[in-house]
């Protein structure tokens, strides 16, 4: 009876939260856990197979992509697609999936799990599969050092019967191998593609003997083909990406001899795609079903999301640590067109109150002639601007506008393609602002397109690629 009351309380609180304009992504779980302190244990009644996805970067994209591929294959799936990955958010998924009078069983649960929350999560409800994406320095004020975080996670898994899907290219992730579980490794071959190089990098020291690792190839951060004189080395992947190619419409991968085409963009997303494809293969899906799901997948909000503002494309991506910042800058500056760059930086709890990580972003890579304007916004706009200045960017190119609405207005007035990096709590407001601008742009284009413009002289000609008319 207590569990049923917990479900009712969770559903009611979620409904009230939405009435007052909130998302209700964690409130139902909070209320349910007040009445049933180990509410997450009921996840087993909701799903036959449980998959957790954890690590620093790529959790949300991997979770969303895997859940979509499984759904597209005909399986019933529950997932926390909005990324609410603390134990209260995971409990919310159960509340929403349950009926008022019982449980609704699904084939698979695919849940993104915060790294620091993993020990409590697996204790309350152990998974069948655990995907570990990578580890980078992230929110040091909350997680502490990477070594400490990894050890706590490993300790929580020792007694569990779980299949680990590990990124073989990350020496930090490779440390989970000594748990002696049923390990499955994924990795990108040395000759599969060429990632960009950065001035800044993550720690590249052996976790066993602390000597510097030898790298035959580096993809990004500390990810690559590594070995140490003590015997610690990259394990042979179970699923290898033999080719990774960035095409106009997304990434092509050849995995264990089979070709896949995704609409994900950015070479770093090849790891997320490889993880999702590998788990699907482990669950018995064939290439055709996986490809069908890849064809219909739409990207997660705020992950290389493109908006149309006026005649220009604006691209938005979430950043939360140096590795994410570096790959974002590389993807942003692929073309030589004239453009502007915006960095929206907050220091709320969800962002991480310690923002010292911005000094490990290779911001010097943004100091280019084709980037004509730089805008620093968010609560810590002045810190973002200072980092730009120390990267050698001329002061006259830098504008500081803490209010993101003002920042968008200034950027719009410059009429240039705009590339935006945003931390967690900047992301949702920025998506709202850009969605509004895009909607207005579409409406404006329709009005211009439908106008007959009879007052223009006969020699007015339409400009190729535009809906407006210019007088010549």
Which one, of 343, 400, 332, lies nearest residue 368 by Cα?
332
Q: What span, in angstroms and rounded, lies between the C-alpha atoms of 36 and 94?
A: 12
The bridge status of strand 129-132 relative to strand 163-167 is parallel
Which one, of 5, 4, 27, 1, lies nearest residue 16 by Cα?
27
State yes or no: is 354 an active-site residue.
Answer: yes
Given CA atoms 432, 434, 435, 436 in this order, what sign does their dihedral have? positive
Q: Say if CB 251 and CB 262 are below 8 A apart.
A: yes
Q: What span, in angstroms and rounded, lies between the C-alpha atoms of 446 and 123?
A: 55
Please state, in angstroms and as integers, the Cα–Cα distance from residue 460 to each residue in 449, 454, 463, following that order.
15, 11, 9
Given CA atoms 171, 237, 119, 320 in this order, what sign does their dihedral have? positive
Please state, in angstroms and as integers, the Cα–Cα distance from residue 310 to each residue in 410, 416, 441, 448, 468, following that order.
14, 9, 5, 12, 12
DSSP secondary structure letters along 184-252: EEEEE-TTS--PPP-S-----B-TTT-PBPEEEEEEETTEEEEE-TTS-BPPPPSEEEEEEEEETTEEE
Given CA atoms 197, 166, 325, 254 in this order, what sign does their dihedral have? positive
- Which letter does DSSP use for residue 462 in this model? E
Given CA atoms 271, 276, 280, 286 in this order, what sign does their dihedral have? negative
Which alpha helices (H) appear in 297-391, and where do they start and end?
322-332, 381-390
Q: Write down the catalytic residue from 354, 403, 406, 415.
A: 354
List CB contacts of 203: < 8 A, sequence separation 6 or more: 146, 222
Q: What span, in angstroms and rounded, lies between the C-alpha atoms of 170 and 187?
A: 9
Q: What span, in angstroms and rounded, lies between the C-alpha atoms of 317 and 299?
A: 11
Catalytically annotated residues: 354
């Amino acid at each position: 009876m207590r569990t049923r009351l917990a479900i009712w309380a969770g559903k009611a609180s979620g409904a009230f939260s939405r009435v007052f304009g909130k998302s209700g992504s964690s409130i139902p779980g909070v209320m349910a856990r007040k009445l049933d302190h180990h509410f997450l244990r009921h996840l087993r009644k909701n799903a036959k197979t449980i998959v957790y996805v954890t690590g620093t970067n790529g959790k949300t994209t991997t979770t969303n992509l895997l859940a979509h591929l499984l759904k597209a294959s005909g399986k019933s799936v529950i997932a926390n697609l909005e990324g609410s990955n603390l134990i209260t958010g995971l409990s919310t998924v159960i509340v929403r999936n349950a009926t008022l009078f019982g449980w609704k069983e699904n084939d698979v649960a695919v849940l993104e799990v915060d790294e620091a929350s993993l020990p409590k999560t697996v204790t309350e409800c152990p998974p069948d599969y655990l995907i570990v994406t990578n580890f980078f320095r992230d929110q040091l004020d909350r997680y502490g050092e990477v070594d400490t975080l990894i050890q706590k996670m490993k300790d929580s898994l020792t007694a569990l019967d779980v299949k680990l899907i590990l990124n073989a290219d990350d020496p930090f992730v490779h440390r989970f191998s000594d748990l002696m579980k049923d390990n499955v490794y994924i990795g990108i071959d040395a000759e599969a593609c060429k990632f960009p190089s950065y001035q800044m990098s993550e720690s590249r020291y052996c976790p066993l003997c602390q000597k510097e690792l030898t790298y035959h190839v580096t993809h990004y951060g500390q990810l690559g083909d590594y070995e140490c004189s003590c015997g610690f080395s990259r394990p042979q992947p179970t699923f290898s990406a033999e080719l990774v190619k960035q095409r106009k419409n997304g990434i092509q991968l050849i995995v264990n001899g089979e070709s896949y085409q995704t609409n994900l963009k950015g070479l770093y997303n090849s790891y997320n795609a490889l993880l999702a494809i590998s788990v699907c293969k482990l669950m018995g899906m064939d290439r055709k079903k996986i490809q069908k799901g890849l064809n219909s997948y739409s990207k997660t909000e705020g992950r290389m999301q493109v908006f149309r503002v006026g005649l220009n494309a604006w691209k938005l991506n979430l950043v939360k640590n140096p590795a994410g910042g570096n790959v974002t800058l590389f993807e942003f500056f692929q073309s030589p067109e004239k453009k502007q760059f915006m960095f929206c930086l907050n220091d709320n709890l969800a962002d991480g109150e310690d923002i010292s990580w911005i000094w490990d972003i290779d911001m010097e890579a943004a100091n280019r002639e084709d980037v004509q304007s730089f805008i620093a916004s968010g609560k810590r706009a002045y810190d973002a601007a200072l980092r730009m200045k120390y990267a050698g960017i001329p002061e006259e190119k830098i504008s500081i506008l803490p209010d993101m609405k003002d920042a968008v207005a200034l950027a719009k007035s410059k009429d240039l393609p705009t590339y935006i990096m945003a931390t967690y709590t900047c992301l949702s407001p920025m998506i709202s602002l850009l969605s509004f601008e895009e909607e207005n742009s579409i409406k404006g284009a329709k009005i211009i397109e439908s106008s007959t413009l009879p007052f223009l002289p006969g020699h007015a000609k339409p400009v190729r690629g535009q809906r407006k008319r210019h007088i010549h």
